[in-house]
Amino acid sequence: MEDRVAQLLGMAVSAQQEQRVGAEEELRLMETKDGFTSHLMGLGASPGLDPQTRWLAVTYLKNQVGRFWQRRSGIPHEILAEEKTAIRSGCLPLSLDTDEKIAMQSALVVARIVRFDYPRIWTEIMPMIAQAVEQNMV
């Protein structure tokens, strides 16, 4: 799945409208598949991918978190608990990426998750953020 998602993300920024529209539609069909959101994070953290694909993966990740982190009326899908755990553990390090565009989108992912999960579920995030800021100021 991950290779196909990377391929589709690359096609989603194509200059050819037909290719772009087809890729966006296929990505839309994948949105509610288990594992899709964590694949996006993995792609965003993959230094071997081109920066535009990584950025788009993290942007999709941010949107996925905003729409599917919690089940709400009218939204039939919620990201699985195991996937949420993996995303929580990976999004803060990704927000410290050397590529500023990727870091910014990842920081927005962290902010959205904090809005949903702090302080009930993600109790340790504030000390983690403080430590990450301290370590990256040196």
pLDDT tens column, 29-88:
999 999 999 999 999 999 999 999 999 999 999 999 999 999 888 888 999 999 999 999
Rounded Cα gap, residues 73 and 47, in angstroms: 37
Summarize the confidence of residues 10-21 as an average pLDDT.
93
Determine the pLDDT at residue 54. Answer: 97
List of residues 6+ apart from 70 with CB closer than 8 A: 78, 116
Residue 17 neighbours by CB distance under 10 Å:
8
Q: How far apart, in Å, are the Cα atoms of 34 and each of 1, 81, 100?
A: 11, 10, 29
> Average pLDDT, whole number, for the chain?
94
pLDDT band at 97 (very low <50, low <70, confident <90, very high): very high
Determine the pLDDT at residue 62. Answer: 98
Residue 80 neighbours by CB distance under 10 Å:
14
Which range among 13-17, 42-46, 100-104 shows the weakest confidence by mean pLDDT?
Answer: 13-17
CB 37 within 8 A of CB 61: yes
Whole-model pTM? Answer: 0.93
Task: Find the DSSP H helices in 12-99.
Answer: 17-30, 36-44, 51-68, 81-94
Summarize the confidence of residues 103-118 as an average pLDDT.
97
Give the three-class secondary structure for 86: helix
